[in-house]
Structure 1
Amino acid sequence: MRLMQNTRPDTRETYRERLAPGLWLLVTIALAGPMVSLVLTPLDPSLALVVGGAVSLALVTLSVALSPRIRVADGVLHAGRAHVDARWLGDAEHFSGEDARARRTHAIDKDGWNLLRGGIDGVVVVPITDPDDPVKSWTISSRTPDRLAAAIRTACAESR
Structure 2
Amino acid sequence: MSASPSRTPTTAAPAYAERLRLPWWLWLAGLASAALLALEVWMGGDGVRAWLPFAVLLPATVAGLAWLGRIRIAVTDGELRVDDARLPAHFVADVIALDADGRREVLGVGADPLAFVVQRPWVSGAVQVVLDDPADPTPFWVVSTRHPVELAEALLAARDAAR
Quickly name the TM-score band, shorter chain normalised: 0.7 to 0.9
Q: Is the 8 A contact 2:41 2:53 kept in 1?
A: no
Deviations 1:18-77 (A, max 9, x none): 2223333322321213311331343259x63x8627733542344224532211111111
Cα distance in 1 for partners of 2:36, 2:79 equals 43
Equivalent residue for 1:145?
148
RMSD: 2.6
**Among candidates 116, 119, 131, match of residue 116 of structure 1:** 119
Are the structure 2 counterparts of residues 60 and 129 from structure 1 closer, same or farther at C-alpha, using a change threshold of 3 Å? same
Q: Is the 8 A contact 2:16 2:75 kept in 1?
A: yes
Letter of the 2:129 partner, please give it.
V
Q: Structure 1: which 4+ aligned runs deviate by more than 6 Å?
A: none
Cα distance in 2 for partners of 1:6, 1:12 equals 19
Q: Which moved more, 1:93-102 or 1:136-145?
A: 93-102
Q: Is the 8 A contact 2:80 2:155 kept in 1?
A: yes
Q: Which moved more, 1:131-140 or 1:92-101?
A: 92-101
Give the number of aligned pairs. Answer: 155
Long gaps (5+) in structure 2? 1-5
Equivalent residue for 1:10?
11
Cα distance in 1 for partners of 2:134, 2:116 equals 15
Task: State TM-score, norm by structure 2.
Answer: 0.79
Task: State TM-score, norm by structure 1.
Answer: 0.80
Pair 1:86 & 2:92 matched: no
Q: Which moved more, 1:123-132 or 1:33-42?
A: 33-42
Long gaps (5+) in structure 1? none
